[in-house]
Amino acid sequence: MDRTVVLITGCSSGIGLHLATRLASDPSRSFKVYATFRDLSTQGPLWEAAESRGCPPGSLETLQLDVQDADSVAAARARVTEGCVDVLGEPPQNACQSLPCPVSKPRCPEAQGASGVPQGQRAVREARGDRPLLAVCNAGRGLLGPLEVHSADAVGSVLDVNLVGTVRVLQAFLPDMKRRHSGRILVTGSMGGLMGIPFNDVYCASKFAIEGLCESLAIQLLPFGVHVSLIECGPVRTAFQEKFQMGRGVVLDNVDAQTRNLFSQYLRHSKQVFREQGQDPEEVAEVFLTAMRDPRPALRYFSSEGILPLVRLRLSDPSGCSYVAAMHRIGFSDKPAHGPDGAGTEAGAGTGGP
């Protein structure tokens, strides 16, 4: 059986790491996963997880891919879609040493030929490029704080990673998928792409843009048999908040007192929402799997039912007034996000973002 080849961006931690190891260890043995990293020195936790999950040899390979660098995206695409033979002309004896494969030899299942398929044969089969291909655009960055404290560089960097980075990956993979009339794109979406969240303005702008990008593409790709799906996540317990572009240590000295006060209220609320409602990335990985196996792929899948009431509330009043008022009540309340009279119960979810 040909395995589905899956490339995932942003696998150093969180959703990407969990998804990569979940797919590679799937009992069906039907996935070949290329887990990619902005910085390959951060791949240790992935291999630890792969070991503890018992990912079989040949199921997982790591590659460098910085979504901000078009050359690195192109190199990863070449490695994944063309296979060893297309690059070197002959099935290499030591693929991972001669190709830009960053995995040290003992850890690279391809180099070990441990899958039971002779390495040359496997390389030839992979080079045909006729296997189902799936790209998961997951890499992302947050930016938290009052808008006026963000530098233009910080804003540009978040938009570059979250939006332009996704475009770079899609531009690299779509032509091949269209030519083959097969392929799937999955993108890690966010409730921050479906509704505004206070103090996450730039992050939300990037994720709203992703919604427009994916929805537009989904329409025009229909005749090509290529499907685009967003996995819409509410709060997920990952390293995301630790890696915020400016972190929580934003300098608020020049910000007015009322905004500072609102910001600290929001931070308290957000912390509580993550504590009480934050999902485990493993649950999110299962939603990805459901989407991947769906014979009639939808544009949107929701990682949790919890965000749906807010989504519906927002759509029910196109003027936006109901949503803005509700979100203000929820986001700046010190009451529990869920509780007998807790803010958030009216809409069913807290707004901790991102």
Ligand X SMILES: NC(=O)c1ccc[n+]([C@@H]2O[C@H](COP(=O)([O-])OP(=O)(O)OC[C@H]3O[C@@H](n4cnc5c(N)ncnc54)[C@H](OP(=O)(O)O)[C@@H]3O)[C@@H](O)[C@H]2O)c1
CB 21 within 8 A of CB 12: no
Any idea which residues carry the catalytic annotation? 203
- C-beta closer to ligand X: residue 122 or 168: 168
Residue 15 binding ligand X, by CB under 6 A: yes
Give, as ranges, the residues between 239 and 268 that touch ligand X (CB under 6 A). Answer: 239-240, 243
Residue 157 binding ligand X, by CB under 6 A: no
For residue 36, say whether it is annotated as part of any ligand binding site: yes
Cα-Cα-Cα-Cα dihedral of 202, 205, 207, 210, to 10°? -140
Identity at 106, one-letter amino acid code = P
Residue 139 binding ligand X, by CB under 6 A: yes
Q: Among residues 141, 173, 147, which one has the least CA distance to residue 159? A: 141
Identity at 168, one-letter amino acid code = R
Residue 238 binding ligand X, by CB under 6 A: yes
CB of 246 to ligand X, least distance (A): 14
Q: Among residues 105, 99, 5, 14, which one has the least CA distance to residue 60? A: 5
- C-beta closer to ligand X: residue 53 or 243: 243
DSSP string, 95-108: HHHHSS--S-GGG-
Tokens of 338: 């869920």
- Binding piece for ligand X, criterion CB under 6 A, among 62-70, 108-116, 127-135, 214-222: 62-70
For residue 335, say whether it is annotated as part of any ligand binding site: no
CB of 239 to ligand X, least distance (A): 4
Handedness of CA 51, 55, 60, 66 (dihedral sign): negative
Angle made by CA atoms 333, 318, 161, in degrees to the nearest 5: 70
For residue 30, say whether it is annotated as part of any ligand binding site: yes
Give, as ranges, the residues between 169 and 208 that touch ligand X (CB under 6 A). Answer: 188, 190
For residue 26, say whether it is annotated as part of any ligand binding site: yes
For residue 42, say whether it is annotated as part of any ligand binding site: no
For residue 185, say whether it is annotated as part of any ligand binding site: no
Q: Among residues 91, 32, 31, 93, which one has the least CA distance to residue 63? A: 32
Instruction: Give the interface size with ligand X as a residue count (CB under 6 A).
Output: 31
Site for ligand X (CB under 6 A): which residue of 4, 5, 6, 10? 10
Residue 91 binding ligand X, by CB under 6 A: no
Residue 13 binding ligand X, by CB under 6 A: yes
CB of 22 to ligand X, least distance (A): 13
Site for ligand X (CB under 6 A): which residue of 3, 22, 32, 38? 38
d(CA 7, CA 121): 22
Strands annotated E in the chain:
4-8, 31-37, 60-64, 133-137, 183-190, 226-233, 300-302
Binding residues for NADP(+): 10-38, 66, 207
Per CB under 6 A, residues contacting ligand X are 9-16, 38-39, 42, 65-68, 138-141, 161, 165, 188, 190, 233, 235-236, 238-240, 243, 354
Question: Can you say which residues are annotated as belonging to the binding site for substrate?
Answer: 190
